[in-house]
Amino acid sequence: MTFSKESTVNTATTPRALQILTVITIILFVIALGLVFFYAPREATMGEVQRIFYFHVPSAWVGGLAFLVTLVAGVGFLRTGDYKWDRVGLSSVEIGITFSIMTLFSGMLWARPSWNTWWTWDPRLTTFTIVLLLYFAYLMLRQGIEDPGRRARFASVYGIVAFISVPITYFAIQLARSIHPVIFGSANPNAEGDSSLTPEMLHTFFFCLFTFTVLYVTLLWHRVRLASYAERVEQLKAKALAA
Amino acid sequence: MTLAPLLQTPDTSGYMIAGYVVFIVLPVLFIASLLYRQRSLKRDEETLRSLAEEEKK
């Protein structure tokens, strides 16, 4: 078992910048909740359940962003062979899956009173589920390969190819007939859902979008540090076995 | 016949609460898994280091 470079990240103490970022993220999250419940008005047609929108869309955004970062990390690893890219790719997939599951479940809870069903095989929902399954398969692929070099190479290629599913999901509701609302950039006259947001709703939405992006960066930083630590322990195990 | 009941905003607060439980519980579970894995790694590291120390002796 060999790694091209020793993991040199100091995992014993959390860097000051990460500590500050974590505190800022918590504050932003609390403010976002405040805006959702006390600033944004209640939507007249759907009622309180519409407030799910403010966290549902940012969750989906973070999922897409995380998988894009995995693509970039995959390219980075294939070009340089540096394992830090592999750690970023794996960490980003884990976060992407977490936020995608959030999107899926919150979407179901929103759909029940709005569409009168928990689930429908709508183009957006179907393609989104495929994305989620593809990235679960990414984790399973990694589990199945023992050699770190091979694992990182395969995962990089897989991460690049799997990303094709993300834009397909985004454009699914614009290209095919769908009951899922088109929030921004509606180009499909056949799309049945639509949304009109008041200025307060838009302020809240963009603040939540920003908060979730910061939350993603914070979680990614923590997760990459954990991956570095795991690599260091693997190196110690390899040394112990070789001795 | 009045249309008033049809024009009333439905009470969907239960679904909203369930949604925000999802938004809070899942990141908390993710953070908890990070902490759990970190502790496991720390235990492994300590064991490996003590084994290495014993071998040196």
Q: Are B26 and A46 within 8 A, CB to CB?
A: no
Residue A116 falls inside a structural domain: yes
- What's the total number of domains in chain A? 1
- Give me the residues of chain A with pLDDT under 50, please: 1-2, 4, 6
Residue A10 falls inside a structural domain: no
Query: What pLDDT does B19 receive?
Result: 96
Who contacts A43 (Cβ-Cβ below 8 Å, separation ≥6)? A50, A51, A201, B9
Residue A8 falls inside a structural domain: no
Q: Percent of chain A beyond pLDDT 70?
A: 90
Residue A5 falls inside a structural domain: no
pTM of the model as a whole: 0.89
Residue A7 falls inside a structural domain: no
Residue A9 falls inside a structural domain: no
> Along the 57 residues of chain B, how does pLDDT read in single tens digits?
566 666 677 888 999 999 999 999 999 999 999 999 999 999 999 999 888 888 777
Compare CB distances from A98 to B30, B45, B52 and report the shortest one's residue: B30
**How far is Cα A169 from Cα A112, in angstroms, rounded to an integer?**
21
Q: What is the pLDDT of residues A165-176, one digit of tens each?
A: 999 998 888 777
Compare CB distances from A113 to B15, B31, B38 and report the shortest one's residue: B15
Query: What pLDDT does B21 receive?
Result: 97
Compare CB distances from A240 to B15, B23, B48 and report the shortest one's residue: B48
Q: Using an 8 Å Cβ cutoff, are A72 and A93 in contact? A: no
* Chain A CB contacts of B10 below 8 Å: 46-47, 113
Smallest Cα–Cα separation from A82: which of A11, A149, A10?
Answer: A149
Query: What pLDDT does A241 receive?
Result: 82
Q: Chain B: residue nearest A219 by CA? A: B31
Q: Tell me, what amino acid is at A15?
A: P
Q: What's the domain range around A219?
A: 16-242
**How far is Cα A122 from Cα A91, in angstroms, rounded to an integer?**
30
Q: What is the DSSP letter of A45?
A: T
Distance from the Cα of A86 to chain B's closest Cα (Å) equals: 18
Q: Using an 8 Å Cβ cutoff, are A160 and A75 in contact? A: yes
Instruction: Give one DSSP letter per residue of chain B, joined into a string.
Output: ---HHHHSPP--HHHHHHHHHHHHHHHHHHHHHHHHHHHHHHHHHHHHHHHHHHHH-
Distance from the Cα of B1 to chain A's closest Cα (Å) equals: 21
Length of chain A: 243
Instruction: Give one DSSP letter per residue of A57-116, joined into a string.
Output: HHHHHHHHHHHHHHHHHHHHHHHH--HHHHHHHHHHHHHHHHHHHHHHHHHHHHHHHHHS
If contacts are CB pairs under 8 Å, which of residues 1-20 in chain B contact chain A? 9-13, 15-16, 18-20
Residue A33 falls inside a structural domain: yes
Q: What is the DSSP letter of A180?
A: S
Tokens, residue B34 = 């990070």
ipTM of this model? 0.86
- Provide the residue ranges of all domains of chain B, joining segments of one domain with +: 25-57
Q: What is the pLDDT of residues A98-112, one digit of tens each?
A: 999 999 999 999 999
Residue A4 falls inside a structural domain: no
